[in-house]
Amino acid sequence: MCICAKKRNNYMSENEKKERETYYNSKPRLGGNGPSKIRQQFNRGMTYFLVIAASLAFYFALLRFRHIFNVLWKVYDVLKPIIYGAVIAYLLNPIVKRVDKRLIPVLEKKVTKPGRAQNISRSVGVFTSLIILGALISALCNLLIPELYVSIRDMIYTLPGQLNHMVSSLNNIKMDDSTTGSIVKTAIEQGTTMLQNWLRNDLLGKVNELMSNLTVGVLNFLGEVVNFLIGVIVSIYILFSKELFAKQCKKIVYAVLPIRHANLLLHLTTKSNEIFGGFIIGKIIDSAIIGVLCFFGLSILNMPYTLLVSVIVGVTNVIPFFGPYIGAVPSAILIMLDSPIKGLYFLIFILVLQQFDGNILGPKILGNSTGLSAFWVIVAILLGGGLFGFPGMLMGVPTFAVIYYIVQMLVSSKLEQKMLPKNTEAYDQYSYVDNAGQYVHSSQEHVHATQEYKYPEHSAVHMEHFGHMETFDAKIRPKKKDDQEENHKKDNK
């Protein structure tokens, strides 16, 4: 018996030893029993400290705002290739997705190795998108640069003669001897004199200043070209690893935020991608079509500076609402210097072209991608352009559309909590919500009657407000008398 007990004790000690080794080798779980009281007090103190520190940091940040802005601008300048790469990848992503959608099902039937079909399809998609990008850039350069050079050269050669012809024409205008005629003639003479002095004196100084800054401009342009080329390389890596980046971001969001907030953030990210992608890509396609149509139309009408004007109209058409007018004004001035009647024809042609774009082509391509009315589009363009210039005018509309969608979600959530309709059309002039929290539409007279029967004091107030009290009482009182007679008969029975 003693020997068996000793063996049992030795066996249990060996098992306990293995269990302890296994226990300490396994990864422990952190935060299982909740924070202690000391930890709670420490967290409260840290909260006070962080609030005070954040307030002081914000105060000193306002004092050093210019230096902080310079540092942030320096960081932006360093990260330009990454930003360019992200933008290029975002623009090329639809082509890659289209290739994957059509090529992966075909490759999966022929390739048995897991993941091999996806890798081959992704390589083909990225290569195809880069070929399309290179072909577009080379075509634009080969077509635009020679034509732009010829147009600008002709404009420089002919502009002084055209201005002199315009000045002489204005001087030869016969005015009558009235007071108004003499005032107009004096104004024309002074204007022509000022224009000639500006061309002879100020313009030469501006040209010299421009020539002195030409070297700096060339160096900046070459730097942007280098950043673009590096961005193309970065975009290749982004397109190959976009699913991995998406999974990592989603993992971080679920780890850092509560589940409800994480799902909300992911939903807003998906909606923002839908709004930005639909608007930017659709607007680029729409502007390219408008530029091509403008080129063919101006060629048929035999307009001067055909390619230069088409480029201006196509590029400025990217800006919603104001873009056509921004591009039409300088183009019309250039054409009017050559021939005023052709300038008038150009304005009529641009008006017809923009009507076609706004009513037929634009809705077919863009649809209702932003969900904004014309008023909010104008507000977004003015606000974005005033703060950030041309990029703000371009990106202001989709950014404002995302903000509009967030506000719409918040308003709809509050209305759902109050059990009220979310449709805007439900809140017309005569619809209201009574003090009991029930919505009453203006066309539902029977609902008013029910409310008067259940809540006479509330309904009376609202009916006096809308000026229908006499008609309402005439409709309700007979019903009340009938109800009282029925109740009296029931009591007698």
The pLDDT value recorded for residue 466 is 41
Residue 367 CB partners (closer than 8 Å, separation 6+): 278, 282
DSSP 3-state of 55: helix
Q: Identify any residues that bridge with 432 across adjacent strands, giving them in sequence order.
A: 440
Min mean pLDDT across 46-50, 90-94, 473-477 is at 473-477
Residue 355: its pLDDT value, please?
Answer: 85
Calpha distance 334→336 (Å, rounded): 6
Distance CA 377, CA 383 (A): 10
| pLDDT > 60? residue 347 | yes
Cβ atoms of residues 472 and 452 within 8 Å: yes
Give the H or E element holding residue 162: helix 116-171
- Name the amino acid, one letter, at 375: F
**pLDDT score, position 159:** 66
CB 273 within 8 A of CB 402: no
Nearest in space to 380 (alpha carbons), one of 392, 363, 390, 391: 392
HSE on the CB side for 55, CA within 13 Å?
A: 5
Q: What is the enclosing helix (H) or strand (E) of 458? A: helix 456-466
The per-residue pLDDT for range 58-100, each reduced to its tens digit, is 888 888 888 888 888 899 889 999 999 999 999 899 899 999 8
The HSE-up count of residue 476 (CA atoms within 13 Å, CB side) is 21
How many whole angstroms separate alpha carbon 379 and alpha carbon 160? 40
**Are 461 and 469 within 8 A, CB to CB?**
no
Q: What would the two tokens of residue 107 be?
A: 């490759």
DSSP letter for 350, please.
H
Residue-wise pLDDT for 403-441, tens only, equals 999 999 999 888 888 888 888 888 888 888 888 878 888
Mean pLDDT to the nearest integer, 27-44: 66
Residue 248 scores a pLDDT above 90: yes
Which amino acid, one-letter code, is at 381? I
Q: Which two tokens stand for residue 189?
A: 């003479």
Q: Token digits for 342? A: 């052709």
**Residues 313 and 329: beta-carbon distance below 8 Å:** no
Window from 162-166, 347-351, 399-403 with minimum mean pLDDT: 162-166
Average pLDDT over residues 226-243: 92
Q: What is the mean pLDDT of residues 23-43?
A: 63
Tally the residues of the chain: 493
Q: Which residue has the higher pLDDT, 66 or 147?
A: 66
pLDDT of residue 229: 93
**More confidently predicted of 249 and 68:** 249
